[in-house]
């Protein structure tokens, strides 16, 4: 019984560390992309760093420890400074999910190499930790690609709507309603009895898992 408790504690600590790493890399990527596209806002705000303290939101951090889920501080940027207009904003947005996917790919490599060289699935705490980090980064990447404001995928949606000639007023309305729509999506399971979030993310997560090879590292 005591051993089980410690194993569960280890997994929970792994989860917390992995979430902090995923959020930090995600927000840093936003800051780096914005800076490279000519916007000095993130650098001036001290966000062009891999120091987790610069990216963790106070309430989001508290919730990480209380419920095991949280969020980071959005990276500030000034659209008027970002080159390439809507395309530049989209590049800044997708930098976050792409960074999580790349990190997942890199951290899945030890498990893939172990499988090739030993013809067996990797075991042990190190691989368990890597599996947690990989899984969380994949989920964070997939979740943020949902095209609902304020998630990163909304910038792709704005680019499409702009190209279709949708009025700025309608885009502003969508941006205002986005958080409500996102909450409805998250809590649809309790409200409607249908896990819309799972159905939406499942094929994207499966594709990302295939890409990074994370399925060979057992949790």
**What pLDDT is recorded for position 70?**
63
List pLDDT tens digits, range 62-104: 766 665 556 788 999 999 999 988 899 999 999 999 999 999 9
Report pLDDT for 69: 59
d(CA 55, CA 37): 20
How high is the pLDDT of residue 218?
A: 45
Q: Is 69 exposed, middle or buried (0-12, 13-18, 19+ CB in 10 A)?
A: exposed
* pLDDT over threshold 80, residue 202: yes
Over the chain, what is the mean pLDDT?
Answer: 85
C-alpha span between 98 and 160 (Å, rounded):
19
Distance of CA 199 to the CA centre of its chain: 18
Task: Find tokens 């303290």 and name the residue.
Answer: 53
pTM (2 d.p.): 0.86
**Number of structural domains in the chain:** 1
| Angstrom distance (rounded) from CA 171 to CA 179 | 14
* Cβ contact 100:141 at 8 Å: yes
Question: For residue range 106-133, what is the model confidence (pLDDT) as tens digits?
Answer: 999 998 888 888 887 788 888 888 988 9
Query: Residues with catalytic annotation?
Result: 27
Boundaries of domain holding 126: 2-216
d(CA 9, CA 59): 23
Centroid of chain to Cα 114: 27
Could you tell me which residue, 141 or 10, shows the higher pLDDT? 141
**Facing residues of 56 across strands?**
72
Share of the chain above pLDDT 90, in %: 44
């Amino acid at each position: 019984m005591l051993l089980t408790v410690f194993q569960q504690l280890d997994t929970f600590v792994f989860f917390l560390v992995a979430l902090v790493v995923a959020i930090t890399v995600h927000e840093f990527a936003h800051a780096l992309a914005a800076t490279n596209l000519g916007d000095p806002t993130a650098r001036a705000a001290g966000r062009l760093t891999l120091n987790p303290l610069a990216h963790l939101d106070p309430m989001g951090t508290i919730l990480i420890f209380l419920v095991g889920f949280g969020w980071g501080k959005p990276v500030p940027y000034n659209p008027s400074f970002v080159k390439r207009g809507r395309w530049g904003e989209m590049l800044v947005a997708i930098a976050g999910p792409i960074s999580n996917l790349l990190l997942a790919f890199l951290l899945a490599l030890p498990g893939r190499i172990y499988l090739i060289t030993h013809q067996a699935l990797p075991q042990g705490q190190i691989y368990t930790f890597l599996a947690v980090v990989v899984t969380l980064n994949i989920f964070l990447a997939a979740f943020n690609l949902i095209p609902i404001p304020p998630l990163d995928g909304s910038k792709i949606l704005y680019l499409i709507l702009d190209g279709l000639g949708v009025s700025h007023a309608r885009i502003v309305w969508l941006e205002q309603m986005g958080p409500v729509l996102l909450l409805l999506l998250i809590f649809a399971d309790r409200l409607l009895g249908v896990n819309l979030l799972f159905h939406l993310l499942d094929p994207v997560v499966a594709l990302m898992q295939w890409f990074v090879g994370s399925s060979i590292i057992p949790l």
